[in-house]
Amino acid sequence: MISKQHIIDRFISYVNIDTESDPNSNTTPSTAKQWDLANKLVDELKAIGMSNISIDENAYIMATLPSNVDKDLPTIGFISHFDTTPDFTGANVKPQIIENYDGSDIVLNAAENIILSPDYFEDLLLYKGQTLITTDGTTLLGADDKAGITEIVSAMEYLINHPEIKHGTLKVGFTPDEEIGRGAHKFDVEKFGADWAYTMDGSQIGELEYENFNAAGAVIKAKGKIVHPGYAKGKMINSMYYATEFINTLPRLETPEHTEGYEGFFHLYSMKGEVEDTVLEYIIRDHDKVKFEARKALMQKIVTDLNTKFEAEVFTLDIKDQYFNMKEKVEPVMHIVDLAENAMQAIGITPLIKPIRGGTDGSQLSYMGLPCPNIFAGGHNFHGRYEYVPVESMQKAIEVICKIAELAAKK
C-alpha cells in the first residue's frame, strides 16, 4: 500500500491551501481561492495517469480510471469536496505530526494553552501508537474533506501502478462549496457517468452511512420600535425581547448539545439584534420525514401564536428546505452499501453503520439520480481547532476504495 509519508506529504500539500467557502457569495465556487486547489488537483490527476480529466467553469473536477477487464461491469464513482467550512478559519494551516501517539495530552499551542486531551476527546485513545496530524490550535485542519481527496487520489494512483488488481471503470469527482450546502448543485450526474458513487466524507474509521438528516434553514425576523429611552414608556418595543420569547418557546432540549443518534433538533446558530430589528437563523434537522415536517410546522405555529398574542405582525418566518434523507434513494440499491461493508470486512475493519447527523454531497446526489452512500475519511473534531486525523485511518480508507473496485470486478 502507499506509504504513510507519501500520504502525509499529499495531505499537507492540500491543507496548506486555503479553500474556505463563503455562504454570502453568489458565485461558484463561492471563493476564488478554491481554484488554487482545484487547479492543483487537475495537474495531479494528470501526473498519476488518469484519463478524461475535466474541470468546468464552476471548478467541478471529473476524471476516469478505465476498466482493465474485458467484461461489462458497473461504473463506480468516488467523490470528495475541496472547500473548508466558513465556521472557523482555514487560512495559514500549520499541521503538526505526532508520531507514535502515546495517549497523553497533545499541546497544540503552548502560548495560548490549547490542549487536545483524551480526557475530553476520548476517541484519541483509539489511536495510541499511530501517527496523528493535528492543527497548531489556531485554525482548523481541513481533513473535512481534504483527507477524502487524499484517499481518492492515492487509491487511483495505487490502482494505476498495480494493474494486477482488476477493476471496472472508476470515476472520481471533486466539488466546491459542499460546506455551504451547494456542493452538488451544479454537479453534472450524466457527464459523471457512474452507476453509483461513494462520498469519502465520514469521520471515524469504519463509518459507513446511507442515512442523513432531512434539513432546512429558517430565518425569523422580529420587528420592534425604537424611541429615546428616556421617553420610551408605552412606546418602545424591543425586538430582542420578542426574539427571546420565540427562542424560549421552542423545546429547549431539542438542540444539538442534547441530542444524538436519530434524534432531531432545532439549532440557533446566529442571532443579530438591535432594538428595532432582530434576526434569528436556525437549522432544522430530523431523520424522520414526518417529524421533520412537524418541526417546520411548529416554528410556523409559534410565529402565528406570538403574532396573535402581540396583536401585530411582530414576527416573520422564512423556511427553505436544504436536502433530504438519502435512505429513500439508497435502500432500493442496498447492494452498494453491502459492497462497501464487505470491502471493509475484507481488510479487517469493523463497519460502523449509522446515520449521519448532518449531510454530504451524497444526500443531494442521491436525489439527482446518483445513489451515493458515505464512507469514512478518518478525521475527528471537524470544523475547529481540535481537528485531527490518524494517518493509518487514511491508509485504510485508501484500501477500502481499492477493495471496493476489486470486489465489484469479481461479481
Length of the chain measured in residues: 411
Q: Which of 190, 199, 105 is nearest to 152 (CA)?
A: 199
Instruction: Name the strand (E) or helix (H) holding 307.
Output: helix 289-310
Return d(Cα 219, Cα 319) in angstroms, integer: 7
Q: What is the CA radius of gyration of the chain?
A: 23
Residue 66's contacts (CB-CB under 8 Å, 6 or more residues apart) are 51, 169
Beta pairing, strands 132-134 & 96-98: antiparallel
Q: Which of 44, 369, 281 is nearest to 174 (CA)?
A: 44
Cell numbers at 186, concatenated: 451544479
83 an active-site residue? yes
Q: Please give the backbone phi and psi of residue 334, each rounded to the nearest 5 degrees, phi first.
A: -65, -15
Catalytic residue chosen out of the listed positions 22, 144, 145, 178 = 178
SS3 272: strand
Hey, how many other C-beta atoms are within 10 angstroms of the C-beta on 273?
18
Cell numbers at 218, concatenated: 429558517
Cell numbers at 368, concatenated: 439527482
Cell numbers at 314, concatenated: 411582530
Catalytic residue chosen out of the listed positions 83, 144, 177, 387 = 83
Return d(Cα 136, Cα 67) in angstroms, integer: 42
Q: Please give the backbone phi and psi of residue 368, each rounded to the nearest 5 degrees, phi first.
A: -95, 5
Return d(Cα 33, Cα 27) in angstroms, integer: 12
Cell numbers at 82, concatenated: 475541496
Angle at 197 between CA 180 and CA 351, to 5 degrees: 95
**Surface-to-core class of residue 338, CB atoms within 10 Å of its CB (0-12 exposed, 13-18 middle, 19+ buried):** exposed
178 an active-site residue? yes
| HSE (side-chain half, CA atoms, 13 Å) at 330 | 28
Question: Which sequence positions are flagged as catalytic?
Answer: 83, 178
